[in-house]
Amino acid sequence: MKVIRVRDYSELSQRAATYFINKLTQSHFGVWGLATGGTPKGMYKELIIQAEEKGVSFQNLHTVNLDEYVGLQPNDPTSYHSYMQEHLFQAIDIPSENIHIPNGMASDLEKECDRYEEMIKGLEKIDIQLLGVGENGHIGFNEPGTSFDSRTHVIQLESSTREANARYFDRLGDVPTHAITMGIQTIMEASEVVLLASGKNKAKSLHALLCEKEVTEDIPATILKKHPHVTVIADEEALSLVLLTCERENEQVLKF
């Protein structure tokens, strides 16, 4: 696992965007797994700027998003469909048919999960999967206790997750109780994973990922220790516990 230590959120956003743009300039096509939430917003903004500066086209890119709330219409401002339009898709030249996000309004949610898995299989593989991490260690919406064998499924959100995301809704009661999320096995099948973490509230999750030996379904992000190609881009605050307690062990990975 490689760890890129950056000063702050602004540097994290720039480094992450450059990383993804370089992938695209190297191959001109591919499948990106994308994430939502507060963390990647800065990266998406930078991605748009850097793509314009470098004349990079997204015409041949396919994207598959990690998750979507159950019960929100795609055009609901708090849906992840809306988030992706607002923060990335409206500003780049990706064809709309290349964009994939779970349908949280499907009448048969189980069928929708199967369809999503089949769609990913049809794309062959996810070349690079972007992840954030929850304060409870979730990846995608795979909450603690989710099986490492899971594929795309419906999940009941933990109250800590709903509280963390309540800032995007008028009130806590409006935050959906369920979501469709790519499973942990689905995520692990991506050729490469890039995990972004910014801020003190991510320090415990990063400590579990980088310093503790245990791989446990109680902290879903710890499964990434078993993935052959993971890059963590994290700022000083997110790494604060790691730097305090296991800097020596991580000397190699933390020096850049």
**Which residues form the interface with ligand PGA (CB under 6 A)?**
37-39, 132-134
Please identify, using beta-carbon distances, which residue of 115 and 162 lies nearer to ligand PGA.
162
Least distance (Å) from ligand PGA to the CB of residue 75?
A: 21
Q: Is 229 among the catalytic positions?
A: no
Give the alpha-carbon dihedral of 126, 130, 134, 135, to 10 degrees. 140
Least distance (Å) from ligand PGA to the CB of residue 46?
A: 15
Handedness of CA 126, 132, 135, 140 (dihedral sign): negative
Which residue in the list 11, 98, 136, 236 is annotated as catalytic?
136
Nearest to 71 by CA among 174, 141, 161, 165: 174
Q: Is 136 among the catalytic positions?
A: yes
- Contact between residue 77 and residue 120 where contact means Cβ atoms under 8 Å apart: no
Q: Is 52 among the catalytic positions?
A: no
Least distance (Å) from ligand PGA to the CB of residue 213?
A: 23
Please identify, using beta-carbon distances, which residue of 30 and 132 lies nearer to ligand PGA.
132
Question: Across-strand partners of 235?
Answer: 6
The DSSP secondary-structure symbol of 7 reads: S
Sequence-distant (6+) residues with CB within 8 A of 144 are 136, 137, 138, 158, 217, 218, 219, 220
CA 40 to chain centre: 8
Name the maximum alpha-carbon separation found in the chain: 52
Q: Is 235 among the catalytic positions?
A: no
Please identify, using beta-carbon distances, which residue of 38 and 74 lies nearer to ligand PGA.
38
Residue 103: what are its φ and ψ, rounded to 5°? -95, 100
Least distance (Å) from ligand PGA to the CB of residue 187?
A: 12
Which residue in the list 46, 62, 67, 207 is annotated as catalytic?
67
Q: Cα separation of 240 and 236, whole Å?
A: 6
Please identify, using beta-carbon distances, which residue of 98 and 148 lies nearer to ligand PGA.
148
Handedness of CA 80, 83, 84, 90 (dihedral sign): positive
Please identify, using beta-carbon distances, which residue of 114 and 144 lies nearer to ligand PGA.
144
Q: Cα separation of 172 and 36, whole Å?
A: 19
**Active-site amino acid positions:** 67, 136, 138, 143
